[in-house]
Amino acid sequence: MLEDTLLKLRFNRGDKDSLHRIYEKYKDDLLKLALALLGDIALAEDVLNDSFVGFTKSMGQIHLRGNLKSFLTTCVVNHARNVYRVRKRKKTVPLDDSLPPPVSDINSPEQSVIFDEECQILNNALAQLPYEQREIVILHCCQDLTFRQIAPLQNISANTAKSRYRYGLDKLRTLLNSELD
Amino acid sequence: MKPSRDIEKRIRGIYNHRFQVKTSENLDRKVLTNSLNALDELQMKNSAQTQPNIWRIIMKNRTTKFAAALVTVLLIGSFAYFFLIKGPDIAGVAWAQVAQQVEQARTIIFRMKMETAGLNMTEQGTMAPDSSKVKTREMEATIMTSAEYGTKMEMFSRGKLQQQMYILPREGIMLTVIPEARKYMRIELTNKLLAETKKNTKDPRDMVREFMQSEYTELGQDTIDGIAVEGIEVTDPRIFGGMFEKVVARLWVDLESGWPVLIDMDGDMAEGSVKMHMMMYDFQWSIDIDPGELEPIIPEDYTAMPPVKMPGMDIDSALQGLRKFVELTGHFPRKLNHMSIMKELSENVKFDKDKIMQEEGVTEEEMKNPDYQPSDAMMKRITDIMNDIMPVQAVGMFYMKLVQEEKDPVYYGETVSPDDVDAVLLRWRVGDNEYQVIFGDLTTETVSADRLAELEK
């Protein structure tokens, strides 16, 4: 926390080393989040790039009180959602609102991605959730964001976020139980 | 375990432990190149962009330039005061070695960052008397202080230099240079105030001392910039002269060298309506400072704002300030916290923008012009207002001093009006069994503890 506060402070002044350090510190987590949301490594990389460039443009406006990781997470979530919507409009996303399994994309020799069978099963199950539910499940369950923090991201109330989470979790339970057990 | 908890645990386990992703070198190169390019572009754009003239900003507000100019002085004054008071002597406490080392530092250079929410501030970081918009403002400062030569503070907003302030004890002045307005202001420190200033210079040394003398909680160890540090936390609102109603202040010290590396603080003022986060960091302790660094540089084309006098920190100045506050608002300040007074004043003292433009003989458009210079009459009016308002500051400063010196001050501004001639407005301890009292009619009296008890019934 202490380090992040100083990183924000220095980055706000335009310090390049701080920008570098922030990227190094959070790049893997953010890429993982983008990958979990979109299920496609190429898209996830684009999201990481766009999110970080977007973050850079907020230089001088990052509040010291805010949480740096949450701020970056929000950047990634917003960019990932945009990518998802564009793909959906172009009808590259199946009508059932799911994404194709990512195995072929992920096993690229350039990437260091450990994605075993269990991950594949989870990813397949997540891909069968409506995007909003998938996003909430990942943010709350895997990123530890509260419903109050998630709600403004989807422009809904905290209670609605909680309901979506419950629906998503119920569906995931059914899907995972049938696959894993 | 509940089924929902079970599935959450399962998902979390897979996500955190089975699903590992690392970026490739190509991706790192691409993201960093794009981001650094974006940063360069942004910095070029920012530096090329003409910053709004301070006067233009002021006129854009619904308030007038008068108000902003005078509150600039108030805010500068409060910063200055931050460096002008001293706490009681330190008792033997843990971390005494740190305090001792810090005490011996003759020079300090450090940065300070303040984020204020809830106080309506202009872009320049000054307070505007328009409480309809609650905004968060940031101000960053670089401070260089020498026991021998004085203090220089450069204040920035969004990376742009807004003000340079010098406190020069040898010359007995406080000098503020405002590059945007191409102006400077000289505030004479009276002999009395100067003597007090010399005696009671406050800087991070004093803050460390205040940490040491307060009841603190150990925060354990952490890392800052790869340096192992150990911290303590103080929540006693009396720290920093009772400037804050609620406060959480932390001091982090380099384990190896024993020098403080970070002081950070969250504080509430004005009944929680103003929240401030402050950090002091990038410290350089006891290094050689070129005296030339502390000599003010005023470009030739800068013009002087009429001089104003800094109020004292004594009872006479406090009485004068209370009187002036009543003249301006019709009542006493509800609280004597420095920021509360400023906020209350800004909410009560309104200025007629149209009237001012009419008197100045200019249109709003003309006043927005960066080259517009206020007339002599306008400058005089600003100065008059400043000189009217400056004493009001004295009340807050005096009260802070009483708190700092643990004189048990109690203030009844919320219940006592100027009509309550015999009611105790403010009292504080002056001896073992003696209290000084200021009554509602602003007369004063020294009374015994028993008499005070009767008066306060």
Residues B29 and B94 in one domain: no
Q: What is the pLDDT of residue B92?
A: 27
Name the amino acid, one letter, at B229.
V
> Under a CB-based contact definition with an 8 Å cutoff, are residues B11 and A142 in contact?
yes
Q: Which residue of A has its CA nearest to B16?
A: A142
**CB-based contact B22 A137, cutoff 8 Å:** no
The residue that leads in pLDDT, B213 or B428, is B428
- ipTM at complex level: 0.85
Residues B291 and B424 in one domain: no
Residues B190 and B96 in one domain: yes
**CB-based contact B11 A137, cutoff 8 Å:** yes
**CB-based contact B224 A3, cutoff 8 Å:** yes
Residue B115 to residue B407: CA distance in whole angstroms? 31
Mean pLDDT, chain B, whole residue set: 75
B160-168 and B173-178 strand pairing:
antiparallel
Q: Does A62 touch chain B (CB under 8 A)?
A: no
Q: What is A116-181's CATH number, 2.40.30.20, 1.10.10.10, 3.40.50.1470, 3.40.50.720?
A: 1.10.10.10
Q: What is the pTM of this model?
A: 0.56
Residues B302 and B373 in one domain: yes
Angle between the N-to-C axes of helices A158-180 and B3-13, in degrees from 0 to 180, rounded to the nearest 10: 80
Q: Which residues of B24-57 are buried (b: 16+ CB within 10 A; e: fewer)?
A: beebbebbbeebbebbeebeeeeeeeebebbbbb
> Under a CB-based contact definition with an 8 Å cutoff, are residues B276 and B343 in contact?
no
**CB-based contact A141 B159, cutoff 8 Å:** no
Residues B181 and B301 in one domain: yes
Q: Which residues of B356-378 are buried (b: 16+ CB within 10 A; e: fewer)?
A: bbeebebeeeebbeeeeebeeeb
Query: Which of B22, B39, B281 shows the shortest C-beta gap to A59?
Result: B39
Residues B76 and B12 in one domain: no
Mean pLDDT, range A14-36, rounded to an integer: 91
Task: Tell me the count of A-B CB pairs closer than 8 A.
Answer: 142
Total structural domains in chain B?
A: 3
Residues B163 and B307 in one domain: yes
| Separation in Å, CA A155 to CA A65, A78, A151, B282 | 22, 12, 6, 40
In a domain, B349, yes or no: yes
> Under a CB-based contact definition with an 8 Å cutoff, are residues B125 and B141 in contact?
no
Residues B290 and B423 in one domain: no
Confidence of residue B196 (pLDDT cuts 50, 70, 90): low
Got the DSSP string for B11-23?
HHHIIIIIEEEE-
Residues B17 and B135 in one domain: no
Q: What is the pLDDT of residue A115?
A: 61
Query: Which of A57, A114, A180 shows the shortest C-beta gap to B42?
Result: A57
Confidence of residue B135 (pLDDT cuts 50, 70, 90): low
Residue B356 to residue B66: CA distance in whole angstroms? 9
Quote the domain boundaries for residue B282: 54-385
**CB-based contact B32 A142, cutoff 8 Å:** no
Q: Which CATH architecture has domain A1-115?
A: Orthogonal Bundle (1.10)
Portion 5-44 of A in contact with B at CB < 8 A: 5-6, 9, 12-14, 16, 19-20, 23, 27-28, 31-32, 35-36
In a domain, B115, yes or no: yes
Q: What is the pLDDT of residue A133?
A: 92
Partnered with residue A18 across adjacent β-strands are none
Residues B331 and B245 in one domain: yes
Mean pLDDT, range B279-293, rounded to an integer: 86
> Under a CB-based contact definition with an 8 Å cutoff, are residues B102 and B207 in contact?
no
Each domain of chain A, given as residue ranges in start order, spans 1-115, 116-181
The residue that leads in pLDDT, B32 or A86, is B32
Mean pLDDT, range A27-50, rounded to an integer: 92
Residues B79 and B28 in one domain: no
Q: What is the pLDDT of residue B316?
A: 87
Residues B64 and B30 in one domain: no
In a domain, B398, yes or no: no
Neighbours of B352 (CB within 10 A): 12
